[in-house]
Amino acid sequence: MKLYEHLAKEIFSRNDIPTPKGRLCRNPEEAALAAQEIGPVAIKAQVLAGGRGKAGGIAFASTPKEAEAAAAKLLGSNIRGYPVTKVLVEEKLNIQDELYLGITVDSGARRAIVLASRQGGINIEEVPEEAIVSHLIDPLIGLKRYAALDLGLKLGLKEGLLKEFIDLTLKLYQIFYAYDAELAEINPLAVVDGHLMAADARLNIDDDALFRHPDIEIVDEGSELEKAIKALGLSYVQLEGNIAVMANGAGITMATMDTLQKFGGRAANFLDVGGGAGNEPMAKALELLLDTNPKAVLINIFGGITRCDEVARALIQVKEKRGLKIPLILRLVGTNEEEAYNALKAHGISAFRNMQEAVTAAVTAAQNA
Amino acid sequence: MKLYEHLAKEIFSRNDIPTPKGRLCRNPEEAALAAQEIGPVAIKAQVLAGGRGKAGGIAFASTPKEAEAAAAKLLGSNIRGYPVTKVLVEEKLNIQDELYLGITVDSGARRAIVLASRQGGINIEEVPEEAIVSHLIDPLIGLKRYAALDLGLKLGLKEGLLKEFIDLTLKLYQIFYAYDAELAEINPLAVVDGHLMAADARLNIDDDALFRHPDIEIVDEGSELEKAIKALGLSYVQLEGNIAVMANGAGITMATMDTLQKFGGRAANFLDVGGGAGNEPMAKALELLLDTNPKAVLINIFGGITRCDEVARALIQVKEKRGLKIPLILRLVGTNEEEAYNALKAHGISAFRNMQEAVTAAVTAAQNA
Amino acid sequence: MSLFIDRDTKVLIQGITGNQGAFHTQQMLAYGTKVVAGVTPGRGGREVLGVPVYDTVKLAIEKHDPDATAIFVPAAFAYEAALEALEAGIKLIVIISEHLPLHDTLKLVALAKVKGATIIGPNTFGIIAPSRCKIGIMPNPIYRPGPVGLVARSGTLSYEVAASLSEAGLGQSTVIGIGGDRVVGLTFVEALELFTRDPETEAVVLVGEIGGTAEEEAAAYIKTMPKPVVAYLAGSSAPPGKRMGHAGAIIERGRGTYEAKVKALEEVGAKIAAFPWEVPGLVREVL
Amino acid sequence: MSLFIDRDTKVLIQGITGNQGAFHTQQMLAYGTKVVAGVTPGRGGREVLGVPVYDTVKLAIEKHDPDATAIFVPAAFAYEAALEALEAGIKLIVIISEHLPLHDTLKLVALAKVKGATIIGPNTFGIIAPSRCKIGIMPNPIYRPGPVGLVARSGTLSYEVAASLSEAGLGQSTVIGIGGDRVVGLTFVEALELFTRDPETEAVVLVGEIGGTAEEEAAAYIKTMPKPVVAYLAGSSAPPGKRMGHAGAIIERGRGTYEAKVKALEEVGAKIAAFPWEVPGLVREVL
């Protein structure tokens, strides 16, 4: 889960990482007041989209009036599809230099990794590999001062900045570790008046560890539909196509979407009902899918833990309740397959055993709809 | 460093280990007041000696008057050589059962170890090996619930007591770890009204880790002489004999004492000036030794880091300052030996190169003194 | 013997009294797996389907000396369950549980190395040696013994592939699910190494997906691997996944996409199936 | 080659710019030890006695690839210094520093095992292969090459014994100080195992003392050890040491005293010297 910049900065600041003076504002008046208190400010849209600066999500203002106007313009606007409801009004920094510092998990190395560069800022991803220094963290040891020192020296830092870099890196790791983060990032790590400061802040918490952090407010920017389906314990992503897809397992759901595309169709969503969800959530999710009015629905179930008869039951339940006006193509094989087919037959629902045939049928149905 | 029972209990209690209600009292009046507040009480001498109960260091009182009398008797008395200046006045527990729980470091296994027994109390050391259960703690893993559960089950605990035992063991380990303890011990771990409670508490902090615990008050029960010599950074233990011993290194100091004994002498102390102490502390320590009026002084130096010329300088300095009325036998070999002998000769001090001869001379000197 | 497990492998089930644990214990017993004991703290002394239940792994080990354990406990307790198995000396730990905190997995992976143990998972469907032993949650009927090694990240997709292999008369030597999480115990590369050394395995099918760099790392190994590899990768149509800030981009450096993975695998001679049902045909070609 | 070190062993000194570090670097150089680099954070770029100083072990390793390191930093920093050496991959770490917190040593010992490294110490005088290499603080002149292995807990007492051996014409193969702390990296048993396998060593002298159970554990190993052992133990006249509560008594179960140690060693055929100067004579008897 990504945290908003202002939340990440609050946590950084609480852990003694220097951050700019700032106020979170929900309306232009608050922004004006903040600017009055702070002086010249940057006004930053609080959205979770990447590339915010390039997308116009940051404005500057010298006076409260300018701040009010800039905030008014940002608030209510959209940054890469995310509506702006809050802005962070922050002291405008006199940045002398921009470094980069991040900690994340390197899946290949199966370790947390510190990454740092002298060339921070918005173009960090174009920085050549040799300008990035890194250190893999042994989870049995953690990040120690000597490792941070080694990174700082390799960046060519000296004296005061070197010492600040070491302290800040160790603190960032403490936050990364204590908050079960997947990412703790400062970009730019700005040099302001000869001192290091977190000009921006990112902190992504591992969703699977949120239960250990009841104090962290859940940030969920999904649509109502996404939230409703997630509430059923299922994994859902909205897409652009017109064929609703439901399958059991992330891999097979993706493979179903891929196959659809290769046969000329386009998935309207990713919905994984894997892991023995039971017929009730499956029926509810199916209803929610139907409510989006797709051209067709493709259900691809390879029954393992998911039992085919439960899938059949979910389908029958939905059909009984509201009928099936939208073409529904079902592929069903695996555990309790025969019971399922018998039940479906009794309710006039047909199904495929072959995935290719089912996908072809779904594409045809969507084209004819 | 051993902590007084009341300090250990304060720490245990702060970490949610149940301890009896109690008050630390410095005079009989305070004890009476405490008894008035608490009811029937146990009055426990706060000394660091083991076997306190067997030595009469614990009294019981039903009334404030009795408590006052018992405290008056204990305060100012001596328990195994330790003067009693404070008593802990504690609610008298209705103990149904006594268990034992301790965590220490097993030097052989090079791991911390949890030890527990159903047969706690003052005779715990006579409990047969098969009545003790234990678990070695992997420092990379720590003590986990499953290990505490395993111990509790092996003790035959059930339900409520089992759950309490697990929680308490995990808390004791947290204290052991957080306080850099060498020992965290509850004996007896009492069953009172069907619940576990730390009727006694021991917490020994690793001297070498005290720098990490500036909040812990240093408890030093040594004599003035011991404190004075320790303040010089040297290692000193008072003994019963009449030949003062000084050597460089714990092993050779012990070996010198052993040799003395085998030749019919007895060491008055253990004084290790090893590790390149320099001539100033050595001279001061020697003066302190001379002040104890031993029959003879035996100095045994095998110079490695300790340079013989520095030892000689210390000796000459003391001789110049106050003369040497007490027979001083010096054995000196190793680094800068020649310079040392030359300097000593100039000041009329003789020395042995052979340890056996030096020891024999010291024994003879003491006998003739 | 197949990789890790065989007919005689004695299996412990941690979390045996839970719904998932009990259901899959039944399935494993039905498959012929020697499930010798179960563990659920607070439930010692009971039986589940005739399998004795203990309060701790240590107590179970004292009586049954299992070779492997399968962990079915909820995510919040899975870390300690795996530690318990590691500390008790079990050398094969299959973590079926999903949603383990990432930092927990990092520690487990490091500690498993210390203890000389193999962790399969977390979030895995398990491991099966067809007709001999199954430790996991995969459906019983779809596997057949044979010469094809199968290693996959995701469960149901691998069942699809395994079933199509079996239908085509291509049995499997061992099927391993490495788990769907970002960090897992046994990696593709390690599984491929094991298949390389396994005399029963003649070809390997790798079922991967977009995200991470596991397939690219596998490709680097396949370059010098003497046995043929066929791969199917899911995610060709998926939009770019959630990115882990700049740091993720710096580490991945363009890897992780469908195109990058296909390119890496094709360059080292692996055959790529466009659809799951194409896998058997490609395996026939390389056998 | 002698145990761990030889003429070509390249040595790093951590804490080289401190008083102790600089003094003993000089002594080691004078002995012929190949001190290739030193480390003191904040002092990189300097030289000490011609030895280049780096800020971190990693930087020193990149240039000099040392085989071993000696740690001379103050106790509060020794833990991280040793970790730094371990993480950097150095396989022999001699911790001269004394007063390391016990819990730090416990972690270091466990991590050294993980990293496949040997820690000698803490609180050791070091290790010396006479005339070839010295990593430590022992006096240079007292050792002679020869067939006697010497392993000791305490420094000066071992110098006494080594000097008496040398005077008697009995040179030493390797002399190791395991360190005076309650918990140490290399144990008596491990040192004895190494001497057993060392073709240069014909007999071993063990210098122990009261407290702990290291000598009793050594005795259990000596029982099956093919080479003769002579022991001197200090502490016959010492009053009982400070006890670690009941827990200490439960663990020691009567071991740890002078009498218990002598009995254990005599029972397995080790010769016990009553005085340090008796050691050479007993060694002659068994050689």
pLDDT in tens, chain B (369 residues): 999 999 999 999 999 999 999 999 999 999 999 999 999 999 999 998 777 888 899 999 999 999 999 999 999 898 888 889 999 999 999 999 999 999 999 999 999 999 999 999 888 888 999 999 999 999 999 999 999 999 999 999 999 999 999 999 999 999 999 999 999 999 999 999 999 999 999 999 999 999 999 999 887 777 888 889 988 988 898 898 999 999 999 999 999 999 999 999 999 999 999 866 678 899 999 999 999 999 999 999 998 878 899 999 999 999 999 988 999 999 999 888 999 999 999 999 999 999 999 999 999 999 998
Q: Which residues on chain D are in Cβ contact (under 8 Å) with A138?
A: 87
What is the number of other CB atoms lying within 10 angstroms of the CB of residue B51?
11
* Distance between start and end Cα atoms, chain B: 38
- Contact status of D213 with chain B (Cβ, < 8 Å): yes
User: Are D82 and D158 members of one domain?
Assistant: no
Question: Which residue from A minimizes the CA distance to D84?
Answer: A146
Proportion of chain C above pLDDT 70, given as a percent: 98
The Cα–Cα gap between B34 and B23 comes to 6
Q: Which residues on chain B are in Cβ contact (under 8 Å) with D210?
A: 254
Residue at B350: amino acid letter: S
User: Are D145 and D272 members of one domain?
Assistant: yes
Which helix (H) or strand (E) element contains residue D199? none
* Residue C73, domain member (yes or no): yes
* Residue D68, domain member (yes or no): yes
User: Are C62 and C109 members of one domain?
Assistant: yes
What residues have CB less than 8 Å from A130, skipping those under 6 apart?
A: none
Complete DSSP assignment for C199-265: TT-SEEEEEEESSSSHHHHHHHHHTT-SS-EEEEEE-TTPPP----HHHHHHHHTTTTSHHHHHHHH
Proportion of chain B above pLDDT 90, given as a percent: 80
Q: Both tokens of residue A45?
A: 């849209």
Is residue B100 annotated as part of the catalytic site, yes or no?
Answer: yes
User: Are D161 and D267 members of one domain?
Assistant: yes
What residues have CB less than 8 Å from C138, skipping those under 6 apart?
A: A304, C125, C126, C128, C155, C158, C159, C162, C175, C177
* Residue C132, domain member (yes or no): no
The Cα–Cα gap between A322 and A162 comes to 67
What residues have CB less than 8 Å from C225, skipping those under 6 apart?
A: C192, C196
C148 touches C170 (CB < 8 A): yes
pLDDT of residue B364: 97
Proportion of chain C above pLDDT 90, given as a percent: 92
pLDDT of residue C213: 92
Which helix (H) or strand (E) element contains residue B59? strand B58-61
User: Are C71 and C211 members of one domain?
Assistant: no
- Predicted confidence (pLDDT) at residue A273 exceeds the cutoff of 70: yes
Measure CB to CB from residue A356 to each of C209, C210, C277 and give the nearest one: C277
Q: How many residues does chain B have?
A: 369
pLDDT of residue B122: 81
Proportion of chain D above pLDDT 70, given as a percent: 98
Which helix (H) or strand (E) element contains residue A292? none
Q: Which residues on chain C are in Cβ contact (under 8 Å) with B167?
A: none
* Residue D168, domain member (yes or no): yes
* Residue C54, domain member (yes or no): yes
pLDDT digits (tens, 9 = 90+) for C206-240: 999 999 999 999 999 999 999 999 999 999 998 77
User: Are D171 and D262 members of one domain?
Assistant: yes
Residue B320's SS3 state is helix
Question: Which residue from D minimizes the CA distance to A144?
Answer: D80
Residue B353: half-sphere exposure toward Cβ, Cα within 13 Å: 9
* Residue D133, domain member (yes or no): no
Q: Which residues on chain C are in Cβ contact (under 8 Å) with B141?
A: 83, 86-87, 111
User: Are D186 and D106 members of one domain?
Assistant: no
pLDDT digits (tens, 9 = 90+) for A15-53: 999 999 999 999 999 999 999 999 999 999 999 877 788
User: Are C70 and C28 members of one domain?
Assistant: yes
User: Are C177 and C276 members of one domain?
Assistant: yes
Identify the chains in contact with A, defined as 3+ C-beta pairs within 8 A.
Answer: C, D
pLDDT digits (tens, 9 = 90+) for C13-52: 999 999 999 999 999 999 999 999 999 999 999 999 999 9
User: Are D233 and D272 members of one domain?
Assistant: yes
D137 touches D123 (CB < 8 A): no
Q: Which residues on chain D are in Cβ contact (under 8 Å) with B276?
A: 20
The Cα–Cα gap between B344 and B351 comes to 8
- Contact status of B153 with chain C (Cβ, < 8 Å): yes
pLDDT digits (tens, 9 = 90+) for C131-173: 999 999 999 999 999 999 999 999 999 999 999 999 999 999 9
Confidence of residue C1 (pLDDT cuts 50, 70, 90): low
Which has the minimum average pLDDT: A86-95, A240-249, B45-54, B250-259? B45-54
The sign one gets for the Cα dihedral D244, D245, D246, D249 is positive
The nearest CA of chain D is from the CA of B203 a distance in Å of 9
Complete DSSP assignment for A319-334: HHHH---S-EEEEEEE
Residue with structure tokens 């149509």? C237
What is the extent of the structural domain holding C262? 138-286
**Interface mutation vs chain A, best among D54, D62, D84, D107, most A CBs within 10 Å:** D84
Identify the chains in contact with D, defined as 3+ C-beta pairs within 8 A.
Answer: A, B, C
What is the number of other CB atoms lying within 10 angstroms of the CB of residue C278?
17
pLDDT of residue D242: 63
Q: Which residues on chain C are in Cβ contact (under 8 Å) with A50?
A: 243, 245
User: Are D105 and D155 members of one domain?
Assistant: no
- Contact status of C114 with chain D (Cβ, < 8 Å): yes
A105 touches C105 (CB < 8 A): no
pLDDT of residue B219: 78
Cis peptide before A40 (omega within 30 of 0): no
pLDDT of residue D1: 64
Flag if D238 and B254 touch (Cβ within 8 Å).
yes
- Contact status of D30 with chain B (Cβ, < 8 Å): no
- Contact status of D191 with chain A (Cβ, < 8 Å): no
Boundary of a domain, candidates D88, D120, D152? D120
Residue with structure tokens 């060339």? A119
Q: Both tokens of residue B25?
A: 């009292």
Q: Which one of A4, A100, A179, A341 is the catalytic residue?
A: A100
- Predicted confidence (pLDDT) at residue C242 exceeds the cutoff of 70: no
Complete DSSP assignment for B80-95: TTEEP--EEEEEPP-E
pLDDT digits (tens, 9 = 90+) for D106-136: 999 999 999 999 999 999 999 999 999 999 9
In this prediction the ipTM stands at: 0.94
pLDDT of residue C204: 98
Flag if D84 and A144 touch (Cβ within 8 Å).
yes
Flag if C83 and B144 touch (Cβ within 8 Å).
yes
* Distance between start and end Cα atoms, chain D: 21
Q: What is the mean pLDDT of residues A128-144?
A: 96
**Interface mutation vs chain D, best among B52, B99, B100, B105, most D CBs within 10 Å:** B105
pLDDT digits (tens, 9 = 90+) for A341-367: 999 999 999 999 999 999 999 999 999
Q: Which residues on chain A are in Cβ contact (under 8 Å) with D111?
A: 140-141
Boundary of a domain, candidates C57, C87, C120? C120
Boundary of a domain, candidates C71, C90, C120? C120
The nearest CA of chain B is from the CA of D198 a distance in Å of 24
Q: Which residue, B93, B94, B124, B96, is CA-closest to B202?
A: B124
pLDDT of residue A188: 95
Measure CB to CB from residue D80 to each of A140, A146, A150 and give the nearest one: A146
pLDDT digits (tens, 9 = 90+) for D228-253: 999 999 999 987 766 677 888 888 88
B317 touches B310 (CB < 8 A): no
Q: Which one of B185, B236, B310, B341 is the catalytic residue?
A: B185
pLDDT of residue A172: 98
B311 touches B300 (CB < 8 A): no
What residues have CB less than 8 Å from B208, skipping those under 6 apart?
A: D75, D99, D100, D101, D102
Domain holding C271: CATH number?
Answer: 3.40.50.261
Residue with structure tokens 């663990």? D251
pLDDT of residue C268: 98
- Three-point CA angle B95, B101, B106, nearest 5°: 160
Residue A116: half-sphere exposure toward Cβ, Cα within 13 Å: 28
What is the number of other CB atoms lying within 10 angstroms of the CB of residue B313?
20
User: Are C152 and C252 members of one domain?
Assistant: yes
Mean pLDDT across chain D: 95
pLDDT of residue D245: 78
pLDDT of residue A126: 87
pTM assigned to the model: 0.94
* Residue C2, domain member (yes or no): no
Complete DSSP assignment for C49-107: TTEEEESSHHHHHHHH--SEEEE-S-HHHHHHHHHHHHHHT-SEEEE------HHHHHH
Domain holding C110: CATH number?
Answer: 3.40.50.720
pLDDT of residue B335: 85
The Cα–Cα gap between D248 and D253 comes to 8
Q: What is the mean pLDDT of residues D93-118?
A: 97
Residue at C66: amino acid letter: P
Q: Which of A124-138, A322-336, D116-130 has the highest mean pLDDT?
A: D116-130
- Contact status of D98 with chain B (Cβ, < 8 Å): yes
The total number of structural domains in chain D stands at 2
Which has the minimum average pLDDT: A326-335, C20-29, C248-257, D82-91? C248-257
Q: What is the mean pLDDT of residues A79-104?
A: 94
By DSSP bridging, strand A58-61 and strand A41-45 are antiparallel
pLDDT of residue D243: 65
Measure CB to CB from residue A107 to each of C212, C232, C243 and give the nearest one: C212
Task: Compute the 3-state secondary structure of chain B and give helix, strand, coil in percent, each to the nearest 5.
Answer: 40, 25, 35
Please state the three-class secondary structure of D103-145 as a single string: HHHHHHHHHHHHHCCEEECCCCCEEEECCCEEEECCCHHHCCE
- Contact status of D275 with chain B (Cβ, < 8 Å): yes
pLDDT of residue B182: 97
Residue B186's SS3 state is strand
- Predicted confidence (pLDDT) at residue A6 exceeds the cutoff of 70: yes
Measure CB to CB from residue C243 to each of A50, A180, A251 and give the nearest one: A50
* Residue C282, domain member (yes or no): yes
